[in-house]
Amino acid sequence: MTQRELFCRQKSRHPSMEAQDWMKLCFQAAFGAEHLALDPAAAQNYLREEFEKTPAGSEPLYEEISEETVRVNLGAWKREGLPEEWLLRMFLQTAENPPKAGERRFRELTELVTDILREGQTTAGSVAPGQAEKEETDTEGTAGGATTLLQWKEYLAAYPMDNPHAVHHSESYRAAEKPAYRLVCRRFLRIFPVLRKLAELRADRGSGTVLVAVLDGRSASGKTTLADQLQRVTGAAVIHMDDFFLPGELRTSERLAEPGGNVHYERFAEEVLHFLRKREPFSYSVFDCGEMALGEERLVPGGELRIVEGAYSCHPEFGEYMDLRVFCDVESEEQERRILARNGEEMLGQFRERWIPLEERYFAAYGIREQAEILL
């Protein structure tokens, strides 16, 4: 969806938008949550107060305002039963990483609003070519929501474009729309289905229960990135299947012919599986591929949520140890592009000839993708 389409959707959804609200939209789309990078404790208190007084609503969970930023509605977040601390963490991380080229982008967006209002007002008023002067001065018609082109231009003339700053929503917008949201980076949208399911499971099982989510899937499908995002948002501990690389002495032709044999599932069962459901921390040994031997110990913090990520994490040798199965997919062409960028030409050849065929045999033999509750 283009930026114009995103802004037009905002105009349609929020007919109370005045010039001040358009300016707020431009600022947020250009600078993200940079101006809201508050002290974490203050941000938490402010969110808690607003979250408590915001009723669960029927609005969409989020609204896209740019290719980088979305507004997450508090009423919808509450309706979904999602914890406010998860939203707080996403918001703070978004504020720490504002979009680049903000000022240039900001000017482009204000010009886009001018075009949208001009086009909408011209259409609404059936202004014919040659009536540009009337178009510039007409205060009738509100095709841009509650804002006319003239009102927008007057607001722009008074706004310090050389020193852009955040503005509040207009009083009329606040009264009609009752806005309550937080700005979140678009990249977090990928984890929303997982967050929803985890919140649902937590509500069903009750506090004190340790939940285990498993992220299986194809090479270069984003499993590790997904696990990292979930860890940053939920505070979950992450166990990586890459730490259980099959050692050389077990790399026999018989073992590699076995679907899912390309992982040290015996050691995973011994060092991890028996401890996942316990709240206490534990540790396991990490396989060092450079030395082809066990290396350092990795500490898994205690807590109520554990995530196991990596191919073979749904191996049938482990049984039904998980509460949630997620499968990360990727088209073969995109998969190769990512592997090339990440690992180089030589390793891409090895993935093509060895690792990908082994993974595909495992997926097919055990229906790993078909058993997943969430496909990403």
Residues 285-313: what's their mean pLDDT? 91
**163 and 19 in a common domain:** yes
Residue 128 has a pLDDT of 42
pTM: 0.86
pLDDT in tens, 154-170: 999 999 998 898 899 99
pLDDT value at 239 more than 90: yes
Q: Indicate the residue among 153, 188, 223 that finishes a domain.
A: 188
- If we measure between CA atoms, which residue out of 375, 69, 20, 34 comes closest to residue 218? 375
Of 25-39, 312-326, 347-361, which range is least confident? Answer: 25-39
pLDDT in tens, 95-117: 887 777 778 999 999 999 999 99
pLDDT in tens, 189-215: 999 999 999 999 999 988 788 999 999
> Is residue 201, in this structure, part of any structural domain at all?
no
d(CA 7, CA 22): 9
Residue % of the chain over a pLDDT of 70: 92
> Is residue 198, in this structure, part of any structural domain at all?
no
CATH code assigned at 325: 3.40.50.300
* 192 phi and psi angles, rounded to 5 deg: -55, -45
Domain with 262, as residue range(s), is 207-375
Q: pLDDT-derived band of residue 187, with 50, 70 and 90 as boundaries?
A: very high
Q: Indicate the residue among 188, 218, 251 that finishes a domain.
A: 188
Q: Indicate the residue among 188, 222, 244 that finishes a domain.
A: 188
**170 and 77 in a common domain:** yes
Q: pLDDT-derived band of residue 283, with 50, 70 and 90 as boundaries?
A: very high
Residue 34 has a pLDDT of 58
Residue 37 has a pLDDT of 54
Token pair of 267 as six digits: 């050691």
Please say whether the beta carbons of 215 and 322 come within 8 A.
no
d(CA 288, CA 311): 18
Residue 124 has a pLDDT of 53
pLDDT in tens, 121-141: 766 554 444 444 433 433 333
> Is residue 202, in this structure, part of any structural domain at all?
no
Residues 48-57: what's their mean pLDDT? 93
**140 and 59 in a common domain:** yes
235 CB neighbour count, 10 Å cutoff: 14
Residue 36 has a pLDDT of 52
Looking at the 3D structure of the chain, how many domains does it have? 2
State the average pLDDT for the chain. Answer: 89
**233 and 181 in a common domain:** no
Of 29-38, 118-127, 261-270, 355-364, which range is least confident? Answer: 118-127
